[in-house]
Structure 1
């Protein structure tokens, strides 16, 4: 049964990652989580691919030029269940704060845009992958599947996460809303690339997408965001043109309530820090009284969504071939009934 009486303090990060440095990224994650816990937060949310940083090289030059970054990036990506991942679980437990993390996941040599929710007791409730990497990201990252569109129970209620432009996918959003989500993490890399150019990657679109998610789903949205600093430019921008494309700043972290209101004062675009807001799930009920698109404001007689939630297994073992049974027919029937989930009447 969903609890709408819970109140707590939440935090969203706006900071520059420790680029291509797995250990350094985990150290900075724990340092920020420590700061948030001292300030009373019970959850802290981090940007998209916070560890080891968003691969901005994908946007800046040819595939041949990008190749110099591929191996270091993969080497510093995070494996779920590894010793490094366990450090984060231990930190959440010792600090008493939930960690909503964005990271590049390495699995059997392939990379995925991952997110995890680690509860205050150190238990990992969600590990998911971005369902469809955006634009040039598809040259670097694999895809998720239906099992990655998930909302789960946690110590802080019903929580879910999506990355970046998953927030402009109407069907993905509706599938999330249908799972009684209360707290949502909308993770972003930064909004500085190609600043001033005619494109759809700027802060106006992306902050609006996070705000609209809060309104459409009647949920609280933590919207952490990375920034571009001098370290990023030194690593990725080896020309003046690249430095203009990948400009300093781009931080637009936000926290929104279920009525779309901004609950925290934004930081300057170039400023590292943490946004805080007090969460009261009672506000969700007030918002849903006006419009609940998966409840009283829906029209299932007109529109329905087909949602395949199963995980896609790349290798499936063939069923074992057993020898014909020599049991009599009555014994076979009893054996079948005992192994079946269907009650025989």
Structure 2
């Protein structure tokens, strides 16, 4: 297979309402697949919505803030979990169509929340990628991921993988993913502003792969809608009322070729962006730059990736 049809669903999440988000994601993904897409990408934390209040609400990071605590409780109560049956419609869509779907979500593991970019693939369980380092204020809500979720999916047309947001400025994370030989990489962002577009284009050039830079569209009013859907909270309502501005994430999604050129770019509103990829461009680009091959120096530089799950407590562990 030398041609691959891809799509980015640049859409507004339904903040806090995971059930509504799953329904919307399934509908949009099906529409994209019906239009010919063999791989579909959504932005960072589409399920649950990006926690805009951490950046936009004054005082959200203050110790014991009642609104921040209220939102955290809502997230814990509603976030997806391993083997979550609510995700079955997306899995069934993949199984029936043969398509691959990359979808951002808040995930709960025991008592912690993670930023997970799930890769749904036909006939197999979704592939996890938990964000290795939550950025700045995000550390108030998400636990760090570990090396156990650095991997790719082997599709019939090549390998697909994910990184999330500022992981694209982690040189060793990039090197590890390039070693896995991605054909198509999803760069999941809350919005693809200029510097995020630069990071995504750099990744495509460096890794000699196609990049789907997927962003969200989020408005202040979306927060109130989502809060109402999950039953409301006076403390969370007060937190959201403190946010200024209306449009907080502006999309800007793009599909990028292995030579860093932009094949397709979305605007600021909700839309599904389609593109056809010529996978032969990957091999052509490797003639001049292969950062995991002839442009590497394993005699000088060595990277060791620990792929063990780091749970902190190991029951029955023997030395």
The normalised TM-score by structure 2 is 0.88
Is residue 267 of structure 1 aligned with residue 270 of structure 2? no
Deviations 1:205-228 (A, max 9, x none): 111111110000001111111012
In structure 2, the residue matched to 1:335 is: none
| Kept in 2: contact 1:57–1:69 (CA 8 A) | no
Is residue 238 of structure 1 aligned with residue 241 of structure 2? yes
Residue of 23, 29, 34 corresponding to 2:25: 29
| Kept in 2: contact 1:37–1:97 (CA 8 A) | yes
SS of residue paired to 1:243: coil
Q: What are the residue-to-residue correspondences of 1:148-227 with 2, within 5 Å?
A: 148-190=149-191, 203-227=193-217
Find the aligned partners of 1:268 and 1:118 in 2 and give their Cα distance. 26
Q: What are the residue-to-residue correspondences of 1:32-47 with 2, within 5 Å?
A: 32-47=28-43
By how many angstroms is 1:233 displaced? 5.6
Residue of 273, 294, 304 corresponding to 1:306: 304
SS of residue paired to 1:10: strand
Q: What are the residue-to-residue correspondences of 1:17-96 with 2, within 5 Å?
A: 17-59=13-55, 60=57, 61-62=59-60, 63=62, 64=65, 65-96=67-98
Deviations 1:124-182 (A, max 9, x none): 35112111111111111111111222223124421110000000111110111011111
Find the aligned partners of 1:24 and 1:319 in 2 and give their Cα distance. 41
Corresponding residue pairs, total: 300
In structure 2, the residue matched to 1:285 is: 283
| Kept in 2: contact 1:129–1:143 (CA 8 A) | yes
Find the aligned partners of 1:320 and 1:289 in 2 and give their Cα distance. 48
Find the aligned partners of 1:290 and 1:181 in 2 and give their Cα distance. 17
| Kept in 2: contact 1:91–1:122 (CA 8 A) | no
SS of residue paired to 1:69: helix
SS of residue paired to 1:78: coil
By how many angstroms is 1:317 displaced? 3.1
Deviations 1:47-94 (A, max 9, x none): 111101111112223340322211112222111201112232112223
By how many angstroms is 1:183 displaced? 1.0
Find the aligned partners of 1:320 and 1:141 in 2 and give their Cα distance. 30
Find the aligned partners of 1:122 and 1:12 in 2 and give their Cα distance. 22
Find the aligned partners of 2:316 and 2:253 in 1 and give their Cα distance. 48
Find the aligned partners of 1:215 and 1:134 in 2 and give their Cα distance. 24
| Kept in 2: contact 1:9–1:40 (CA 8 A) | yes
| Kept in 2: contact 1:151–1:158 (CA 8 A) | yes
CA RMSD of aligned residues (A): 2.0
Q: What are the residue-to-residue correspondences of 1:324-343 with 2, within 5 Å?
A: none
In structure 1, the residue matched to 2:219 is: 229
* Unaligned residue ranges in structure 2 (runs of 5+): 228-238
Find the aligned partners of 1:11 and 1:18 in 2 and give their Cα distance. 20
Find the aligned partners of 1:182 and 1:273 in 2 and give their Cα distance. 24
In structure 1, the residue matched to 2:117 is: 115
Find the aligned partners of 1:171 and 1:18 in 2 and give their Cα distance. 33
Change (3 A) 1:56 1:248: closer
Could you say which structure has the greater relative contact order, defined with CA pairs below 8 angstroms and 6 or more residues apart? 2
